[in-house]
Chain A
């Protein structure tokens, strides 16, 4: 097993769900409750040293339970290695703990995930929509059940 993964298993034994390695990239699926402890471990352990948050995004799998997946890409500038952390989030309780306390750069990234997919981040200091307008209430655009052409106000346009 990969050295980074061994470390997570040793330090957070209940967190791990599955590991996959493909195309030279390591993906770790963890329980959503342990996202903050695992991120803290990845950042603070001197052999892992994941000090750089690359990106956070989300994927919608309609029909699967849990429905959503939040994907974190981390990078270590000193060690020059990457890892992908994933956590599944169910539709009925669409929340996950925020990692803004671990990397302040996660602030805008989590706001974007909330805006696009409707996943709420517990403990986020300023969880508002970021790319859509703040009063937008027609749903979350990146969900698979949201039509590409948009919905709502466009339907009211008159055909000329």
Chain B
């Protein structure tokens, strides 16, 4: 018997047909709700407990990042991109610097490419761990949250060792990265990877055979592959429906073409499949990081392009010319040739792309952000219809939605 079916003795058999008055109800959910992951309001048209129509109201976190970007130099936009997806700021940085590099036609040193890939995959792990913990918390399995945050903390400590920040990192630079991996970080990362697959098994023992978890995720928010493509969905939400589209495979960047890994796909397109895919992706990310660390070459971590890249920090502290150079890049930025470019990057949420239109000069003429969370919200009404009020929370969670990125 399904959870929602009522035993027959509750039916009142003596009420004549049509005598009971029914009425549709309009329910407002949010903008402040513990499970809405940021500030989001959704108006639900209900028939009993079943959703007939769902209207999301976005924009509570709109800060006009696209407008601000038009008035900031390219290096000044990197910290703004941190604030888009504040759960996974490294990957957002990566997406932006790749777009600028494509416009500038910069060649990145191979060691920098490896470090970028390692750090992006570490960020994917923290993003998926954060998602798994909060999704389970929303659905009512609180314990998982403490376990996933334990591992997330280890990775965030490594980020802190790497760049000094824990959430909004601004670690990527146009032309390379800010600081090199230290031997201690490498050792600790190896130690983390040693135990991490067992930790994933641990989360699975808490969830896979948990009857509440399975009945609240299996068959919930089903979307077919055809619909998922038509709505422009990407990332685990699209792959859950069985479409093996991953930017890292379709248009490889970093060193994703130099390591072995697979794209996990689902087949039912429901919340459980998307959970399963994210768990598999964590295993794949761990695999990628391991191979990258094994192959990690030596060399510079930033391209040798004085007009674009910052001088090494130790020179800035001792050398007058380097200090002036650093000051020039930080305040005036650098000129980018005229042109337009769209560059997609696979972030934990899906495909994040920047469209930059440059007319020359040190500021973009137009900087548009294709944010996966915003586009996933476009399919919310389609995916929520026919489900129960309690499932709304599951559906928000299944997108891995971050409102900072959605509202920009």
A and B assemble together:
yes
A residues with a Cβ closer than 8 A to B are 22-23, 25, 27, 51-55, 57, 59-60, 71, 73, 77, 80, 82, 84, 103-109, 112, 116, 129-133, 141-142, 146, 148
Other CB < 8 Å A-B pairs besides A55-B353, A55-B355, 10 of them?
Answer: A22-B340, A23-B339, A53-B232, A54-B232, A57-B366, A57-B368, A59-B366, A73-B355, A80-B251, A104-B378
User: Looking across the interface, which residue of chain B has its beta carbon closest to that of A144?
Assistant: B70
Say yes or no: A131 contacts B407, CB within 8 Å: yes
Say yes or no: B339 contacts A105, CB within 8 Å: no
Give the docked Cα–Cα distance between A112 and B102 (Å).
26
Give the docked Cα–Cα distance between A36 and B145 (Å).
47
Say yes or no: A55 contacts B370, CB within 8 Å: yes
Determine the main DSSP class of B at the interface with A: mixed
User: Looking across the interface, which residue of chain B has its beta carbon closest to that of A51?
Assistant: B229
> Could you write out 30 A-B pairs with CB less than 8 Å apart?
A22-B340, A23-B103, A53-B230, A54-B342, A54-B344, A55-B232, A55-B342, A55-B353, A55-B375, A59-B357, A71-B368, A77-B229, A84-B340, A103-B231, A104-B227, A104-B382, A105-B231, A105-B379, A108-B375, A109-B232, A109-B375, A116-B66, A129-B59, A130-B58, A130-B59, A131-B58, A131-B59, A131-B408, A141-B64, A146-B67
- Determine how close the nearest CB of chain B comes to the CB of A141; give it in whole angstroms: 6
B residues with a Cβ closer than 8 A to A are 58-59, 62, 64, 66-68, 70-71, 102-103, 105, 227, 229-233, 243, 245, 250-251, 339-342, 344, 351, 353, 355, 357, 365-366, 368, 370, 374-375, 377-379, 382, 407-408
Partner pick for A82 among B67, B227, B342, B382, CB 8 A cutoff:
B342
Give the docked Cα–Cα distance between A53 and B375 (Å).
10
- Determine how close the nearest CB of chain A comes to the CB of B61; give it in whole angstroms: 9
Say yes or no: A55 contacts B230, CB within 8 Å: no
Say yes or no: B342 contacts A84, CB within 8 Å: yes
Give the docked Cα–Cα distance between A103 and B353 (Å).
19
Q: Which residues of A contact B339 (CB under 8 A)?
A: 22-23
Q: Which residues of B contact A71 (CB under 8 A)?
A: 355, 368
- Determine how close the nearest CB of chain A comes to the CB of B115; give it in whole angstroms: 25
Say yes or no: B342 contacts A25, CB within 8 Å: yes
Give the docked Cα–Cα distance between A54 and B407 (Å).
17
Say yes or no: B102 contacts A23, CB within 8 Å: yes
User: Looking across the interface, which residue of chain A has its beta carbon closest to that of B406?
Assistant: A131
Q: Which residues of B contact A116 (CB under 8 A)?
A: 66
- Determine how close the nearest CB of chain B comes to the CB of A50; give it in whole angstroms: 10
Q: Which residues of B contact A59 (CB under 8 A)?
A: 357, 365-366
- Determine how close the nearest CB of chain B comes to the CB of A145; give it in whole angstroms: 12
Say yes or no: B342 contacts A142, CB within 8 Å: no
Say yes or no: B378 contacts A73, CB within 8 Å: no
Q: Which residues of A contact B251 (CB under 8 A)?
A: 80
User: Looking across the interface, which residue of chain B has its beta carbon closest to that of A108?
Assistant: B378
Known: A25-B341, A54-B232, A133-B59. A108 touches B374 (CB 8 A): yes
Q: Which residues of A contact B231 (CB under 8 A)?
A: 103-105
Q: Which residues of B contact A73 (CB under 8 A)?
A: 342, 353, 355, 370
Give the docked Cα–Cα distance between A26 and B176 (Å).
27
User: Looking across the interface, which residue of chain B has its beta carbon closest to that of A52?
Assistant: B229
Q: Give the residue among A22, A84, A104, A146 with the most B Cβ atoms within 10 A.
A: A104
User: Looking across the interface, which residue of chain B has its beta carbon closest to that of A22?
Assistant: B339
Give the docked Cα–Cα distance between A156 and B340 (Å).
39
Say yes or no: A54 contacts B351, CB within 8 Å: yes
Q: Give the residue among B102, B103, B340 with the most A Cβ atoms within 10 A.
A: B340
Say yes or no: A132 contacts B378, CB within 8 Å: no
- Determine how close the nearest CB of chain B comes to the CB of A29; give it in whole angstroms: 12
In the A-B complex, the 6 residue pairs with the closest CB atoms: A105-B232, A108-B378, A57-B368, A55-B370, A131-B59, A105-B231
Give the docked Cα–Cα distance between A25 and B343 (Å).
10
Partner pick for A132 among B59, B245, B366, CB 8 A cutoff:
B59
- Determine how close the nearest CB of chain A comes to the CB of B45; give it in whole angstroms: 14
User: Looking across the interface, which residue of chain A has its beta carbon closest to that of B377?
Assistant: A108
Q: Which residues of A contact B64 (CB under 8 A)?
A: 141
- Determine how close the nearest CB of chain B comes to the CB of A113; give it in whole angstroms: 10
Q: Give the residue among A73, A84, A131, A132 with the most B Cβ atoms within 10 A.
A: A131
Give the docked Cα–Cα distance between A112 and B66 (Å).
12
Q: Which residues of A contact B70 (CB under 8 A)?
A: 148
Give the docked Cα–Cα distance between A133 and B59 (Å).
7
- Determine how close the nearest CB of chain B comes to the CB of A152; give it in whole angstroms: 14
Known: A55-B370, A133-B59, A141-B67. A107 touches B341 (CB 8 A): no
